A and B are shown apart, each in its own frame.
Chain A
Amino acid sequence: MKRLYPYLTGGITEDWTDYLLAYQEAGADAIEIGLPFSDPMLDGTTIQRASDRSLRRGTTVDTILADLAAVRDRISVPLFAMTYANLVFRDGPAVFCRRLAEAGVSGLIVPDVPVDEADGLSAAAEAAGVDLVLLAAPVTPPERLAEIAARSRGFVYAVSVLGTTGERDELAGTAAPLAARIKAVTDLPVLIGFGISGPEQATAAARAGDGVVVASALMRRVLDGATPGELLDDVAALRAAVDQADQEVPADHAHAEVSGDRG
Chain B
Amino acid sequence: MTVLESMAPPTGGRFGDFGGRYVPESLVPACAALETAFREAWADATFHERLAELRSVYAGRPTALTPATTLSADLGITLMLKREDLAHTGSHKINNVLGQALLAQRMGKTRLIAETGAGQHGVATATAAALFGMRATIYMGERDMARQRLNVFRMELLGAEVIPVTAGSRTLKDATNEAMRGWVAAVEEAHFCLGSTAGPHPYPWLVRQFQRVIGEEARAQAPVHPDVVVACVGGGSNAAGTFAGFADTRARLVGVEAAGGAAMTHGRPGVVHGYRSMLLQDEQGQILEAESISAGLDYPGIGPEHAHLGATGRAEYVTVTDDEAVAALGRLARAEGIICALESAHAVAWVLRAAGTPELPAGSTVLLTLSGRGDKDMATLAGVTE
Q: A: which residues have CB within 8 A of B?
A: 37-42, 44, 48, 52, 55, 60-61, 84-87, 89-90, 111-117, 134-141, 144, 148, 159, 162-164
CA distance A55 to B279 in the complex (A): 19
Sort chain B's interface into a size bin: 35 or more
On whether the beta carbons of A139 and B279 are closer than 8 Å, the reply is no
Q: Is B23 interfacial (CB-CB < 8 Å)?
A: yes
On whether the beta carbons of A112 and B22 are closer than 8 Å, the reply is yes
Q: How far is the CB of A51 from chain B (nearest CB, A)?
A: 10
**Given A86-B271, A162-B188, CB of A113 within 8 Å of CB of B22:** yes
Q: Which residue of A lies closest to B180 (CB)?
A: A41
**Given A89-B270, A112-B271, CB of A137 within 8 Å of CB of B284:** no
On whether the beta carbons of B284 and A61 are closer than 8 Å, the reply is yes
> In the complex, which of the residues A42, A90, A115 contacts B284, with contact meaning CB atoms closer than 8 Å?
A90
Q: B: which residues have CB within 8 A of A?
A: 20-26, 28-30, 167-168, 173-174, 177, 180-181, 184-188, 269-274, 276, 279, 281, 284-287
On whether the beta carbons of A90 and B24 are closer than 8 Å, the reply is no
Q: Which residue of B lies closest to A36 (CB)?
A: B286
On whether the beta carbons of B181 and A164 are closer than 8 Å, the reply is yes
**Given A85-B271, A86-B270, A117-B20, CB of A159 within 8 Å of CB of B25:** yes
Q: How far is the CB of A11 from chain B (nearest CB, A)?
A: 12
**Given A39-B173, A61-B284, A164-B181, CB of A86 within 8 Å of CB of B28:** no
Q: Which residue of A lies closest to B282 (CB)?
A: A38
Q: How far is the CB of A165 from chain B (nearest CB, A)?
A: 10
> In the complex, which of the residues A39, A60, A113, A115 contacts B177, with contact meaning CB atoms closer than 8 Å?
A39
Q: Which residue of A lies closest to B187 (CB)?
A: A162
CA distance A163 to B276 in the complex (A): 23
> In the complex, which of the residues B21, B184, B272 contacts A164, with contact meaning CB atoms closer than 8 Å?
B184
Top 4 closest A-B pairs, CB basis?
A90-B285, A85-B271, A137-B26, A163-B185
B287 proximity list for chain A (CB < 8 A): 38-39, 86
Q: How far is the CB of A12 from chain B (nearest CB, A)?
A: 16
A40 proximity list for chain B (CB < 8 A): 177
On whether the beta carbons of A55 and B286 are closer than 8 Å, the reply is yes
> In the complex, which of the residues A37, A89, A117, A137 contacts B286, with contact meaning CB atoms closer than 8 Å?
A37
Q: Which residue of A lies closest to B28 (CB)?
A: A114
CA distance A89 to B276 in the complex (A): 10
Q: How far is the CB of A215 from chain B (nearest CB, A)?
A: 15
On whether the beta carbons of A116 and B284 are closer than 8 Å, the reply is no
CA distance A162 to B184 in the complex (A): 6
> In the complex, which of the residues B24, B177, B269 contacts A135, with contact meaning CB atoms closer than 8 Å?
B24
A136 proximity list for chain B (CB < 8 A): 25
Q: How far is the CB of B299 from chain A (nearest CB, A)?
A: 12
A60 proximity list for chain B (CB < 8 A): 284
On whether the beta carbons of B25 and A137 are closer than 8 Å, the reply is yes
B274 proximity list for chain A (CB < 8 A): 41, 112
Using A38-B287, A89-B271, A144-B28 as known contacts, list a sample of 16 further A-B pairs with CB atoms less than 8 Å apart, ordered by residue number in A.
A38-B286, A39-B272, A39-B273, A39-B287, A41-B180, A41-B181, A44-B181, A60-B284, A86-B287, A87-B285, A90-B270, A111-B24, A114-B24, A140-B29, A148-B25, A162-B188
